[in-house]
Each structure stands twice: as structure tokens, then as C-alpha cells.
Structure 1
Amino acid sequence: MSEFLLVRHGQASFGSDNYDQLSDLGWQQARWLGEYFQQKDRQFDDIITGKLVRHRETAQGICEGLGLNRDAFTEHGGLNEFDFHSVVSAYLRQFPQEMPSDKSDARPFFKILKKAMEAWRNDELSAPVPESWGQFEQRVGEALAFIQDNYAGKKLLVVSSGGAIAMAMKHILGYGDDMVMNINMQVINSSVSRFVFSPRNVRLASFNSIPHLDDNDRSDAVTYS
């Protein structure tokens, strides 16, 4: 059976000067997931990541938990997150009155992110951003096609980001753009979604699973940033 496990990166460094790196908790989430895979004797024919630091670090943490000595992975830029910093910045330049007073609090940021994504999707941002919504959708589709075309009969671990995962599921399930924005907000750090695939189609088997965090002692480790 051809299958891939699509993992969102561990908690990144929200509120720091460099978001694109795992927090200490993000590393721990990744290692716990690797330990879970080891307990279940899960083996992978390849590990594919986006080209962001938080993707590679998550894959490294999973490998540490699995007991694998590996730090190089197959990369595909289609798995990268959209540049949400640029999208939000463009939105706030247009609507400066919505600037949150506490930039370290993720909750108001996520509210603004959803509004900014909607403006971006509808091509309503006056300031330029690195890619259009359509370009984002296309490159995520290219990442799925890369997997389908090159890994028939294989079992893969794929590490990406919440927005790219939500867009991948649009390709697979056929839902609308509004659902992409909603799903993006729901994907848990280090969560696992399972897909089975052939060169002709991809099917969802499970979504947003966190068996490695399903413990009372780890309830505080469930994060979304």
C-alpha cells in the first residue's frame, strides 16, 4: 500500500525574532512523535519536508525519537507555508487600526490572520505579497503530484505546515477556499494526518491525530503555533 503521514511541524517560536525554528516544546513534540512511531514499529521509505527550518528540525526530532541517525531529507518547496508574515503585514498596512496591542499573544494574531487570508484570497490586498493564492494552491498541488509520481508502493513521512496541509486537503477532498482557512486554524503542532495514494488519486484516512500527546501529563503540549 502506498501511504504518507503528513505531519505539521512542532511548535515554532511565535513572538521571537525568528519564528522559523522550533521552540523547546516543539522539539519535544517531535521527539515524542518519533518515540510513538518507534513503539508502533513504523518504518518509512523516505522522509520528505518543505524547505523551512522548522520542517527540517521537526523531521530531525522525529528521527531522534525513532533512534535514526539522519539529518538530510528529500525537500519539496510545495510543502512550504505561505508567507503569512507578508500577508498579515500587507493587511495591517491597509487596516492599521486592527494592529493588536499585545504582539506576543497568539489569539488576536490568529483572528487577524484569518481576515488577512480572506483578503489575500480575494486579491484585495493593496500591498504586494510574494505569491498569489492561486500560486500557493498550485505549488501545493505540485508537491502532491511529486509524491504520487515518484513513490508508488512506498510509505512516507512528510513534514509541512498548517496552511499547506489545509490546501493539500482542498486538492484531495475538493472543499472550498473558506474551508482552507478554517482547517488551517485547526491543525495541531506535530499532528499526523494519514493518506493512501496511487498515481491517480489520494484518499484521506485520518486527520489531525496526536496519539503521542494523548496523555494527561501532556495536555499542555497541545499547541497551534
Structure 2
Amino acid sequence: MAELYLVRHGQASFGAADYDQLSLLGQQQGQLLGEYFAERKIVFDHVLLGTMNRHRQTVEAIFQGSTEVASVKEHPGLNEYDFVALIDCLGEEHHELKLQAKNSKKDFYRVLRQVLLLWMEDRIDGPIPETWSEFQQRVADARSYIQGLKGQRILAVSSGGAIATVAQQTLGAPKATVISLNFQINNCSFCRYFFNADSFHLATFNSIPYFDRADRSNFITYG
């Protein structure tokens, strides 16, 4: 059986003009994860990432903390859903939700939970970038691609929604499980899977042992 470390990107830049950039804290989170891998002599045969800036910057930060550098390939199946577009595409029926999303970060995530459920039920009227089924399929395609790789240990850097979907698909859980899992995944946490060409098994979910100490509590973030 091969081993997959599926990592969420470091803290991004919520509230900035461009969310798709790591914050300084996000870069530090990636470096600490890289140090964790180096200390345990965890070496990867392949490194995959989505096509987003925060994915690439997280991989770069991990490499700064680790002396072992593997070749890197992109796979769009590891990209996040476009949560901003989903909210923007809400019709008049959900106008109040659009307004609430602008109030605060807390309100934004409260609204996003409701919007994701509408998305899953095909109840968003506007021209959304992709349907729920399309998102599910591209995440499944990424998982299939990983299963076809030759090597004993794989690192993949992705986003919360895609990571939650991999877990949901692996466990055969209801689609709404993606929402509850998505909102508890820490930045720079990893999920560990064992797999071969025919099977895919979840071993650990949302692990952050490198932040689990009193002087690193500020590294535990979710956005």
C-alpha cells in the first residue's frame, strides 16, 4: 500500500483584495510542516498541488522547512470550489443572504454553509462556475490520478472543500458531510490515506501535531 499526505494550504488572506495569497502566518505554517516531515525523514516520491497561488506557496514553504525536494505537478482536481462566485450567483430569492455575507467574517461563513447546501441541491439560479456534480467528479478524478501514481509516498496540497470531498467519497458519507468536514479543517493540517490501484483508506483526518504545543496555539487557523 502507498501512502498519501493530503494537506490543506496555509492561512490565506481573507478580507484582502486577493484571498489567494498566503499570509505571513500561512508561510510559517508551511515551514513548520516541512520541518515536521524532515525531522521524521518523510520523503515524497511525488508532490501534487492544485493550480491556485496558495497551493503553490504552501508547497514552497514546506520545501523551505525540508531538505528533501521532489518534482511537483499540478492537478486542477485539487482546486477549491469558487465560494465567492457561488454567493455572487444567488438570485433575488436569496438576496438577504448576499447582504449578510458582507457583514463580517463570521457572517460570511454562516452564509456559506447555507449556500453550499443550495449548491448541492442545484438551487442556485445564476451562472455558477461549476455544478456540485462537476466538482465531485473533478475531485474524484484527482483521487484516481493519485491512485495511478508509482511510488510509496505522495504529498498533495489542496483546499478544504476538496479535502472534505475526498473524505466524504472515501467513506461513502452523505454529500452534506462535506460541509461539516470542510469547516473544521485546519490550515496546513494533513489527512493520511493508504491506497493502491483498487482501494483507498482514510487513516487520520485533520492532523496538526506540529502545532500542538502551548507556544504555537496561534498557528491553529481555519481560513
Please, what TM-score do these two structures have when normalized by structure 1? 0.94
Q: Sequence identity of aligned pairs in percent?
A: 41
The CA distance in 1 between the partners of 2:21 and 2:62, in whole Å, is 15
Evaluate the alpha carbon distance shift between residue 93 and residue 6 of structure 1 in structure 2; reply closer, same or farther with a 3 A threshold. Answer: farther
Number of residues of Structure 1 aligned to a counterpart in Structure 2: 222
Name the residue aligned to 1:123.
122
- Contact residue 91 and residue 119 of structure 1 kept, 8 A: no
Name the residue aligned to 2:169.
171
The CA distance in 1 between the partners of 2:52 and 2:2, in whole Å, is 26
Tell me by how many angstroms 1:107 deviates: 1.4
Name the residue aligned to 1:219.
217
Evaluate the alpha carbon distance shift between residue 95 and residue 22 of structure 1 in structure 2; reply closer, same or farther with a 3 A threshold. Answer: same
Name the residue aligned to 1:42.
42
Name the residue aligned to 1:195.
193
Letter in 2 for 1:32: L
Query: What runs of 5+ residues in structure 2 fail to find an aligned partner?
Result: none
Matches within 5 A, 1:154-169: 154-169=152-167
Partner deviation per Cα, 1:119-164 (whole Å, 9 max, x = no partner): 111111111101000000000000000011123x420111000000
> What secondary structure sits across from 2:222 in the alignment?
coil
The CA distance in 2 between the partners of 1:117 and 1:186, in whole Å, is 15
Name the residue aligned to 2:51.
51
Name the residue aligned to 1:79.
78
Tell me by how many angstroms 1:169 deviates: 1.1
The CA distance in 1 between the partners of 2:106 and 2:41, in whole Å, is 37
The CA distance in 2 between the partners of 1:3 and 1:122, in whole Å, is 34
2:165 paired with 1:146: no
The CA distance in 1 between the partners of 2:93 and 2:163, in whole Å, is 28
The CA distance in 2 between the partners of 1:17 and 1:100, in whole Å, is 19
The CA distance in 1 between the partners of 2:101 and 2:45, in whole Å, is 47
Letter in 2 for 1:87: L
The CA distance in 2 between the partners of 1:190 and 1:146, in whole Å, is 22
> What secondary structure sits across from 1:95 in the alignment?
helix
The CA distance in 1 between the partners of 2:152 and 2:69, in whole Å, is 21
Evaluate the alpha carbon distance shift between residue 189 and residue 94 of structure 1 in structure 2; reply closer, same or farther with a 3 A threshold. Answer: farther
Name the residue aligned to 2:26.
26
Root-mean-square deviation (CA, aligned residues, Å) is: 1.6
Letter in 2 for 1:178: A
Query: What runs of 5+ residues in structure 1 fail to find an aligned partner?
Result: none
